[in-house]
Amino acid sequence: MDIEKINDVVKNAKDKPNKELIESRDILITEFDKTKQLILDLTKHLDAVRDSYEIINTEIGKRLKKWK
């Protein structure tokens, strides 16, 4: 089922048969879970990048203080 079909089911849910509702729901559950996992993975990556940046930036700050 493609996105246009799911959008049609969402817009006309009252008129759709149970089979289409269940199929659309299952696809949306899968998409939700995949999107949630991507967000969690990206958040972990972002935290790691920030931590690495802070380590390097702190070291640069220490070295610049020594030169002054």
**Span 26-65, pLDDT tens digits:** 999 999 999 999 999 999 999 999 999 999 999 999 999 8
The model carries a pTM of 0.76
Total number of domains constituting the chain: 1
Do 24 and 9 contact (CB within 8 A), yes or no?
A: yes
Average pLDDT over residues 6-27: 97
pLDDT band at 68 (very low <50, low <70, confident <90, very high): low
Structural domain harbouring 62: 3-67
Higher-pLDDT residue of 22, 67: 22
Give the Cα separation of 15 and 63 in Å (integer): 69
Q: Is the dihedral of CA 23, 29, 34, 35 positive or negative?
A: positive
